[in-house]
A and B are shown apart, each in its own frame.
Chain A
Amino acid sequence: MSDSKSNGVKMTSKNLDFYYGNFQALHDVSLEFKKQQVTALIGPSGCGKSTYLRCLNRMNDLIPIARVEGKIMLEDEDIYDPSLDVVMLRRRVGMVFQKPNPFPKSVYENVAYGLRVNGIRDKRLIEQRVTESIQRAALWDEVKDRLQESALGLSGGQQQRLCIARALAVEPEVVLMDEPASALDPIATQKIEDLIHELKKEYTIIIVTHSMQQAARVSDITAFFYIGKLIEVGDTDTLFTRPRLKQTEDYITGRFG
């Protein structure tokens, strides 16, 4: 984690506190996310890892009583700066949700949606981006003959990869994934994990997961959260084999959580 400033740090949070009304859900979380790396956020239910993830693209703005203190930087921009356009931020920091949530539109329109709302009208460009994105999400062979059919007719695993394609279409720099495989069977999960491996060559990926095996398989860095605090962060290999703290060890060996 040394000399990271020059080493392609994409996002950082500094002393981040988060409140739901009077309840403090996150305490003083400072983390760095590097380009071309996968960072896994792990911890028991309710530890704040999903809340933290949703701070990174200001999805928590949708909750009226939510409040943030501290800083989150995307490269050298403060994303909570009042002059920053949150709509632009969310294009740059894409998100994939826990349950596959394609729109009730055709496969094609699902992926084209992000381009259209961002003002792209050129049909050839849209078609090219849609094709590329679906290919990159390793879904092309399965859907190339049914692009005009409803996305709701796809299987759960296909839907989730479509949601990834949809997120990739608008060329995000960071992709947030909130337990992207938790609603999927093992084979579909495998495909998503393979995909994450592929995608990290181009994107900064931050993934929340309940499965420690998954964290170990897909991530380079792992951060362990417990009751709203960042307990330990480090190389995934090191964290899982030689955790520094007892709490981390207890969690990853399954003694609690």
Chain B
Amino acid sequence: MRNTKMDITQEEYAEAGPEKEQKTNAADRPPKAERTPSIIHQTAVRKQRRRRLIQKAIFSVFRLSAVINALALFIIIYFMVKNGIGAISWEFLSEAPRESMTKGGILPCIVGTILLGVGAILVAMPIGVASAIYLNEYARPGKVLRTIRLGINNLAGVPSVVFGLFGLAFFVIYLNMGVSILAGALTLGAMSLPVVIGSTEEALKSVPDTYREASLGLGATKWQTIYRVVLPTALPGVLTGGILGLSRAAGETAPIMFTAAVFFTPDLPESIFSEIMALPYHIYVLATAGTEIEATRPLQYGTALVLITLVLGMNLIAIVWRARLRKRLKG
């Protein structure tokens, strides 16, 4: 199929070339039969096969890379579903663990993870969006701006376990919050800040300057311009960034293991100062520190499946939401 198509184009090419040239110079050229094709045309035809092959090879490599990416996700999901689906039941989703966590469900972990994720985003969104607005709309380029940016970029590079230790030292001990949802959410929020700032800045940058000029030209103040024109236009990107930050935070283990999550607590949290269980930490505990590691394998996979469903679900919501907002803006 492919070859025939190529042959035809090759023939067409070989024919069309000189003919086309002929047309433009019909007046002062000898008839077609006597003409020798130009050196450029000859070379182009001779090298054509080779150039096509190279192009094909290169694009195949690119395509393969893209496929590997998609495949990795599918393999992970397939593996989790295959091993974990057996553990999923109404009891698993709605009850607390029993008998040294070998039986029962993971409800406290699900609730804990949702609370931590939402808490983290409540911390990170206002500060992150405000920072991004300052950096992108107000700050004049200079030393201060460069220093702040350097700080943010480095914050993004700090390992999550370091955030965990920082949270322990600062929120849990120094501010005396104890191991609690509040301390965990603040730690996760601090960790998500660079993500939120980065995605918000991208969203603000994608708002055309002509909108800002038009608004200022009508006698709007800078703040009115940002609040009424720039932010609404950037909203889809800002929200997407927020939810992506949230789903990242929900899956983290290290930042919460010293600040919020505990080995086992069958009760649902009573206040933001309660300690809680969380899905990623629960997996870690069952797989490494439990008394019955082998016996709880199905529960580990089941918990992982719930976590991954939660995270992918949030990402999906972000995508749908963004698409809707975009559509509304375009009209």
Interface residue ranges, A against B (CB under 8 Å): 57, 59, 62, 64, 87-88, 90-92, 94-95, 97, 99, 101-104, 106, 113-114, 116-118, 149-153, 163, 166-167, 170
Contacts and interface: CB of A to CB of B under 8 A. Distances in A.
Nearest to A102: B214
A103 B216 CA distance: 12
Nearest to B142: A64
A114 B218 contact: yes
B30 interface: no
A64 B141 contact: yes
Contacts of B329: 104, 150, 152
21 contacts: A59-B213, A62-B213, A64-B140, A64-B141, A87-B219, A90-B219, A91-B218, A92-B219, A97-B213, A99-B210, A101-B208, A103-B229, A104-B211, A104-B233, A114-B219, A114-B220, A116-B228, A117-B219, A117-B228, A118-B220, A150-B330
A151 B329 CA distance: 10
Contacts of B213: 59, 62, 95, 97, 101
Contacts of B141: 64
Contacts of A166: 214, 218
Interface in B75-130: none
B331 A153 contact: yes
A101 B331 contact: no
B217 interface: yes
Nearest to A149: B331
Interface of B: 140-141, 208, 210-221, 224, 228-229, 232-233, 329-331
A97 B214 contact: yes
Contact of B331 (A59, A90, A104): A104
Considering the complex of A and B, which 7 residue pairs feature the smallest CB-CB distances, nearest first?
Answer: A150-B331, A91-B219, A114-B218, A101-B210, A117-B220, A95-B217, A104-B329
A57 to B, nearest CB: 7
Contact of B221 (A87, A102, A116, A152): A87
A57 B141 CA distance: 24
Contacts of B219: 87-88, 90-92, 114, 117-118, 170
Contacts of A91: 218-219
Contacts of A170: 218-219
B223 to A, nearest CB: 10
Contacts of A102: 214
Most buried by A among B208, B218, B329: B218
A98 to B, nearest CB: 9
B216 A101 contact: no
B217 A94 contact: yes
Nearest to A150: B331
B215 A103 contact: yes
Contacts of B232: 104
B330 A104 contact: yes
Contact of A94 (B208, B210, B218, B221): B218
Nearest to B224: A117
Nearest to B212: A62
A90 B217 CA distance: 5
Contacts of B221: 87, 117
A153 to B, nearest CB: 5
A116 B329 CA distance: 20
A90 B210 contact: no
A158 to B, nearest CB: 13
Contacts of B208: 101
Most buried by A among B212, B219, B228: B219
A113 B227 CA distance: 12
Contacts of A97: 210, 213-214, 217
A180 to B, nearest CB: 13
A113 B210 contact: no
B215 A59 contact: no
B214 A101 contact: yes
Contacts of A57: 217
A112 to B, nearest CB: 11
Nearest to A93: B217
Given A114-B219, A116-B228, A153-B331, 14 more contacts: A62-B212, A62-B216, A90-B216, A91-B219, A94-B217, A97-B217, A101-B214, A103-B215, A103-B233, A104-B331, A113-B215, A151-B331, A152-B331, A166-B218
Contacts of B330: 104, 150, 152
Contacts of B140: 64
Contacts of B210: 97, 99, 101
Most buried by B among A88, A150, A153: A150
Contacts of A87: 219-221
Most buried by B among A95, A103, A118: A103
Contacts of A167: 217-218
A117 B223 CA distance: 10
B331 A103 contact: no
A64 B141 CA distance: 9
A106 B232 CA distance: 13
Nearest to A166: B218
A89 to B, nearest CB: 8
A57 B213 CA distance: 11
Nearest to A101: B210
Nearest to B233: A104
